[in-house]
Structure 1
Amino acid sequence: MGAHIASLGVASLACAMLASQALAQSEPAPNSAVAELAPGDIVVTARRREETAQNVPIALTAIGGATLEARGSFGLQQIQQQLPSMLISVVNPNNTNVNIRGLGANALFSNVGLENGVGVHVDGVYLARPGQSTFELVDLDRIEVLRGPQGTLFGKNTTAGAINIITRAPTFEPEAMVEGTIGSRGTYRGRLSLAGPLSDSVAARVTLSHGEHGAYVRNTISGQGVNESNNDSARAQLLFRPSETFRLRLIADYSSLQDSCCYAVIPDLIDRRVDGTPLPRPFLTRAAQVGYTPLPVDPFARRNDANRRQRINMEQYGFTGEAVLELDGAAITSLTSWRRWRFDPRVDADGIALDIFSRAQQVIDDHQISQELRIASTGERTFDYVVGGYFYDHDVDVNQLTQYGPDAPAFALGAANAINNAALNGFTVRSVSTLRGRSYAAFGQATWHATKALAVTLGLRYNDETKRGVFNQTTSESPDISGLPDAIRVPAQGIRNNFGLTNAYTARTHESNVTGQINVAYNFTPEILAYATYARGSKSGGINLTNVPPGVAPTVGPETVDHFELGVKSSLLDRHLILNGAIFNTTINDYQTTILDPSRSASYLTNGGKVRSRGAELEVRYMPSRAVNLYAAATYVDAEFLSFRNAPCAPEFFGLQTVCDLTGRQIPGAPRWSVSAGGDVTVPLSGRTEGYFGADYSYKSSYNSSSNLSAFTVVDGYALVNARAGLRFMDGAIDVSVFARNLFNKNYFTSLAVAGFNAGQITGFLGEPRIVGVTLRARY
């Protein structure tokens, strides 16, 4: 298959090259959408055409690369502070959930057989796993965040939105930039970027970066700091421009991450059920039974006592080739990509100074190939159009192992007797699973400019997708108990069967669907644009690739989305004031989530109910001069389960009921209120020197981060403030600044979860504490 897609990409590139020779003297038609930029406006490709962000009649926020650098945003977790509609929760790089308007992913759950509802794209290439976006993002041209279903123009249908990360391309003007940062808590960051011509028709760009941050949690067993991170990346690009009408951009990149991740803290312990009765064998009782004295419940002391070293090694690399041939009034684009991502963790699954688990790991090896070919109109015309085809091939191999340790019998079962010891001490469950996915799509979008003020856009996409999964779970690496007396062996085997059975299955899904949108936009004046959108979206089905109980289909059906939105975009005060707003209502049918089947006493992923997200957004930017740039944005989201009657219950219901009705409850990962505000001010000084200062404020109200909506997993609302100040010399050639992230050292959680065994133990992951430092940047 790799040869097939490679030949397709090479053929399309070769055809474009040959055609360019015949059209070398023709001039590309001007694109009126980018003829004149307002202050602070950004050219985007959200509709696969170059347009200014203010002229695109969809909910879109674009942040330029220079702004990201100035604000010290080197990853999506920092960028989300400037985008109130987005929430990113990270337990580890694989368990990365991206939500937009409350929708996107099940809370803190990762399954390679399912896609996220928010698509992440780098230079037009869809990334198969959200973890691929957790590397540091450097040398960027811009980031575009599209809200709402993206079911027409993007590589994979998504139900909640898309994030487009666009890197800086090679230039024929020489450029050089070197940057170094040193800060508190072992923060070090360095970057080198070089660009320029290799000949009259070839330019190159090379970007190297290294980033690390030190510990902000202390492990009391080793006495060392943990949750440290080291991140290295390299990107090399070539731009071939043999004529005015043809360009070919080749990108090769590599990134690696080494983390002493992810050590949690204990913020709470449940000892009573919701009716006030004692919880059977709560955490402190179990701890006493094994002679363990846990750390005091004081999460912001930032201490953890895991007795096994945790680490994560992650790497990804890939190649992208983009060829663009400009015709008379149109442009043909071919986009070819191959990527590999590998995730290799070693974790202490119990997270405390016990050997409930002695080994735990989930190694993921992910390969993807994609090819897109499209033609889009350029210039001024009555009908604008984009038409294309897309192919995507995705292979994943997963090797997962769980081994129970000597403390498991007493902690999990209540006593370390002969039966329990034979059952669990050393009991090992290993699963090997594979996923093979392939999808084909044809898409088209046309905009009819009925009048100078009125435009109607219709987009359609046909998608055909097949997934094949194989799951094989064994317990053969466990200690052999066949020679034990029946009085011990039989009950011990019964216990083992409850913790892990030998199981194997194959599964297949196939679906074809049509998605799309209709959008009506009206310019009341050249500066005021109103729009209305209806979109029908879909997120593909999947395969559990976990140990589903007998009689349960391992497949998960697709989600379908109906989305309505009304919005206004305005550029006022001679285009120095940007004021945008939107109201929206999104309904997801057949929501992919975890349900509980009481007849089998098992929970698993399937389609379980209906979800609605509705709300409003407001975005303001004020740029009265080059020296002042202010912004503010707010989002209100009411995202709830319209129907979810067979949900697993929270631990405070243990022993009272097994199935809970979450209908009418706010879905996890959906704060009702999110706000961001800030800006930058530049002050001219003597000669070619200027000073500047800036600050950013972000706030998220409380939200639940657990799929069972336990009352103990509510993340309290929190506000963060970042600040910076600096001097630029020689017209910006030299830039030195000081910065503070989390200026007021706010203690907050990024997520809370319920630990296993119904012991009432809550685990939490802390946000980054205050980091202060200095950055030196030099440009040529």
Structure 2
Amino acid sequence: MRLCTLFAVTTAPVALLAFAAPAAAQVAEAPDVTDTAPPGRATGAAPQTGDQDIVVTARKRAESLLDVPIAATAISGNTLTERGVNSVREAASLTPGLNIASDGAGRAFVSIRGVGVTLVQSVQPGVGLFINGIYQPNTSYLNNPLLDIDRIEVLRGPQGTLYGKNTLGGAINVITRQPSNETEARGNFSFAGPDDSILASASVSGPIIKDVLQVRVAAGHRQQDGFLRNNMLGIDASPFKTDSLNTTIRFVPTGDVVLTVNGYYDWVEGANTPYARVTGPTDYSRIVQFNAPNRIQYRYRGVNARLETPIEAINSKFTLVGSYDARNGVSPNSDADFGPADIARSNGTDSLRTKTVETRLDTELSGTLSTLLGLFYSREEATAFDRTRILPANLTRLTNNATKADTYAAFGTIFWKPTTAWEIALGLRYDHEKRSADGDIAITVGAAALPTTLSNAQLKSDQVEPRLSITRHWTSQLMTYASVARGYRGGGFNAPTAPIRTYKGDSAWTYEIGSKYVSPNRAFSLSGDVFYNDYSNYIGLNSIAPAAGGGLVTVDLNSGDVESYGAELEATIRPVSNWTINGSVTYIHARLTDSSPYTLVTGRTLSSDRLTFQPDFSGNIYSDYTIPLGGEDTLTLTGGVVAKGSRLAATLNQTTPTFLRPYALVNAAITYRTGPLEVAAFANNLLQKNYFDAYIERTTLALAGLPASDLGIIGDRRRIGVRLGFRF
């Protein structure tokens, strides 16, 4: 009943738009406007989020955002630079429905519409991250630097039909710039304080052999001291440094045959879990009391290749994609008790190797019927070593884990356009996954060694992920759509001493109605949708449970079922040609409807039906006003606000939930452009708002037998800086 009422109320504006629109016209594909300035001139104000003219590949085809029956947001690379966005995590503030938080360089919590919640890296992501269409199987990539980006596409709702498992919440696709026949050089340099935040990046691209071979090379460096301080060691508690290199080679040997090869290498150094001990959710302390620096180091590298060729005999386009990605992590010395008492220390290493291959055949059967068929295979291999010492007891625990996963999939979508105004798309994907885990735990107390615990486990799953969408183009400027889709995330493994060694995957059915509109003069665009998610076997909580042989152990588990519904709205308005206002707002009601599986495993109850770190409301609004100064010179005044509603902290308290206060951050910039140069002064969090990025309520430490306190990580303070950019 609530769903019907919500749909009825929210779709009323869609109906009004349909009646108010002009008479039906032929729908034309819009050009790609993500980057329209030629070399030698400044880019000008970038197309903003909410623009429906941007060309995207959400359905593995190049289409105008206006034509895609998916709730999708595209953020251009220029917008990312102007907004000071340097990672996918930071880009979430510009995207409706996408919620990302982090408590370290190698950790990120992500969900879309409250679905696909991922709180720890041992759980497979519920929101898929793709770099140039290549799946990245770990949420730590969300913190990595964005270098020479063309755009980010965020697709909300299950995308399993085309993108596979682990996209039940949605998919994020980061697309780097492609080289062309034009020689081009770009650069971006910025400095901000008071934490000495430095960003430097540059790229060059152009033809080696015109029309045949083009190359792009980009490099970047970023570092900052952060705003947290470890007074016990006299060091910064949350520094961050990255060095990045990526390249693209585009080879066109003949006709429409295109081979694109991408490679990247990222070095990331930072801190994990720099929590301050706080008295409650209004105690915004930035003092960390650790006996160890909690540094973490990662190396990411990979290469992928895409071959595209037409097969004219069957009116088709064939695509073959292959990739290899690797990650290595080292944590040399961490404080495992989160406090000033030197009770527990840990160190460890981990590695992840991923290989994928995918083939697609896009066939035009007739003027009204086309198909997209494909096969997919991936292999993941991960290892992890941890050494934890309990100093007062002279106890050392060594843990080794190794997991392997093979996934096979076949997928297909039929697109039927009986008229220019209607489209029906029906897709289906079959995924077969096999995962295995081998682990051992060795414990020594002084000179005495306890028997080594060995544990092996396996998981298998066979899943079908369908999607049906119906699209109606009322005019060349207005469309509406309705869709239903199912998404799935694979299960995983707990430690050998956990009461449950494995947990199964979770899944969601999503029902959605949406509409998109662009005015004839492109001065106004609007995109809105309402949705309902039926989310089963939710893997969203980790807890403390009794360990085999005594003590406690952290477990990931299926916590129950979730109901999620809400609405999203994006808009871009240009009152005059040199003034752009854009923004979005999201309402999400995501609640646990059955948490009995959590109680069955842990013997505990939950104090709230809210989902951890998920706000009910979020939004952003930005204004860019450009003042002509004569000739090509301009001055752009930018102001914006990003906001989140109250959120449930991570808590195991059975009676009293802890909620984090809502917040709004004000950002501003002034940008001067002349020819190929631009100079900007900017301020982020201008009003010095205090807010929490992450928070753990004291019960977790108490259950672990450690000195209890709430733990919090405070968000960044005000940064004021300057930026220089060029494009030749």
Percent identity, aligned pairs only?
Answer: 27
Corresponding position: 1:702 with 2:686: no
The 2-side partners of 1:519 and 1:83 are apart by 22
Corresponding position: 1:440 with 2:384: no
Partner of 1:512: 462
Alpha carbons 1:218, 1:303 under 8 Å: kept: yes
| Aligned with 2:673 (options 701, 715, 728) | 728
Task: Describe the superposition over 1:737-779 as per-residue Cα deviations: whole angstroms up to 9, x where unpaired.
Answer: 0111111111110111134234541100111111110011121
The structure-2 alpha-carbon separation of the partners of 1:596 and 1:767, relative to structure 1 and needing over 3 Å to count, comes to closer
Corresponding position: 1:753 with 2:696: yes
Q: Which runs of 5+ in 2 are unaligned?
A: 1-26, 35-46
| Aligned with 2:481 (options 531, 539, 548) | 531
| Aligned with 2:433 (options 447, 465, 484) | 465
Task: Describe the superposition over 1:297-352 as per-residue Cα deviations: whole angstroms up to 9, x where unpaired.
Answer: 98434212212222111110000101111344432111110000112223212232
Partner of 1:604: 555
For residues 397-416 of structure 1, the aligned pairs below 5 Å read: 397-406=383-392
State the 1:104 CA deviation.
2.0
The structure-2 alpha-carbon separation of the partners of 1:673 and 1:199, relative to structure 1 and needing over 3 Å to count, comes to same
State the 1:594 CA deviation.
4.0
The 2-side partners of 1:205 and 1:316 are apart by 19
| Aligned with 2:503 (options 540, 548, 556) | 556
Partner of 1:485: none
The structure-2 alpha-carbon separation of the partners of 1:353 and 1:97, relative to structure 1 and needing over 3 Å to count, comes to same
The 1-side partners of 2:491 and 2:691 are apart by 35
Corresponding position: 1:311 with 2:267: no
Alpha carbons 2:560, 2:598 under 8 Å: kept: no
Partner of 1:192: 202
1:567 maps to amino acid:
G
Alpha carbons 1:126, 1:156 under 8 Å: kept: no
Alpha carbons 2:329, 2:350 under 8 Å: kept: yes
The 2-side partners of 1:187 and 1:585 are apart by 41
The 2-side partners of 1:82 and 1:215 are apart by 22
Three-state SS of the structure 2 residue aligned to 1:198 is strand
Partner of 1:566: 513
Moved more, 440-449 or 344-353: 344-353
The structure-2 alpha-carbon separation of the partners of 1:441 and 1:384, relative to structure 1 and needing over 3 Å to count, comes to same
Corresponding position: 1:344 with 2:330: yes
Alpha carbons 1:596, 1:647 under 8 Å: kept: no
When normalised by structure 1's length, the TM-score is: 0.82
Alpha carbons 1:61, 1:144 under 8 Å: kept: yes
For residues 480-499 of structure 1, the aligned pairs below 5 Å read: 480-481=447-448
The structure-2 alpha-carbon separation of the partners of 1:379 and 1:65, relative to structure 1 and needing over 3 Å to count, comes to farther
Corresponding position: 1:354 with 2:354: no
Alpha carbons 1:646, 1:660 under 8 Å: kept: no
Partner of 1:116: 125
Alpha carbons 2:277, 2:289 under 8 Å: kept: no
State the 1:378 CA deviation.
6.2
Partner of 2:82: 70
The structure-2 alpha-carbon separation of the partners of 1:736 and 1:379, relative to structure 1 and needing over 3 Å to count, comes to farther
Alpha carbons 1:468, 1:507 under 8 Å: kept: yes
The 2-side partners of 1:709 and 1:728 are apart by 54
The 1-side partners of 2:31 and 2:89 are apart by 34
- C-alpha RMSD over aligned residues: 2.4
| Aligned with 2:149 (options 105, 125, 140) | 140
Partner of 2:568: 617
The 2-side partners of 1:355 and 1:158 are apart by 41
Alpha carbons 1:217, 1:225 under 8 Å: kept: yes
2:688 maps to amino acid:
N
Partner of 1:94: 106
Partner of 2:627: 683
Task: Describe the superposition over 1:26-48 as per-residue Cα deviations: whole angstroms up to 9, x where unpaired.
Answer: xxxxx963468798421100000
The 2-side partners of 1:642 and 1:61 are apart by 30
State the 1:93 CA deviation.
3.1
The 1-side partners of 2:658 and 2:693 are apart by 11
When normalised by structure 2's length, the TM-score is: 0.88
Alpha carbons 2:564, 2:588 under 8 Å: kept: yes
Alpha carbons 2:105, 2:240 under 8 Å: kept: no
The 2-side partners of 1:194 and 1:102 are apart by 40
Alpha carbons 1:713, 1:762 under 8 Å: kept: no
For residues 165-314 of structure 1, the aligned pairs below 5 Å read: 165-184=174-193, 185-200=195-210, 201-268=212-279, 299-314=283-298
The structure-2 alpha-carbon separation of the partners of 1:594 and 1:211, relative to structure 1 and needing over 3 Å to count, comes to closer
State the 1:105 CA deviation.
2.1
Partner of 2:18: none
The 2-side partners of 1:546 and 1:741 are apart by 45
2:589 maps to amino acid:
D
Partner of 1:421: none
The 2-side partners of 1:174 and 1:565 are apart by 44
The structure-2 alpha-carbon separation of the partners of 1:564 and 1:74, relative to structure 1 and needing over 3 Å to count, comes to same
State the 1:180 CA deviation.
1.3
Alpha carbons 2:165, 2:488 under 8 Å: kept: no
Alpha carbons 1:315, 1:343 under 8 Å: kept: yes
1:302 maps to amino acid:
R
Indicate the structure (1 or 2) with the bigger Cα radius of gyration: 1
More strand by share: 2
Moved more, 559-568 or 767-776: 559-568
State the 1:546 CA deviation.
5.0
| Aligned with 1:333 (options 276, 301, 319) | 319
Three-state SS of the structure 2 residue aligned to 1:236 is strand
State the 1:116 CA deviation.
1.2
Partner of 2:370: 384
Alpha carbons 1:308, 1:347 under 8 Å: kept: yes
Task: Describe the superposition over 1:455-491 as per-residue Cα deviations: whole angstroms up to 9, x where unpaired.
Answer: 1110000111100111111104x31258xxxxxxxxx
Alpha carbons 1:647, 1:708 under 8 Å: kept: no
State the 1:596 CA deviation.
7.4
Task: Describe the superposition over 1:239-272 as per-residue Cα deviations: whole angstroms up to 9, x where unpaired.
Answer: 1012231111111110001114442212226xxx
State the 1:707 CA deviation.
5.4
| Aligned with 2:357 (options 365, 368, 371) | 371
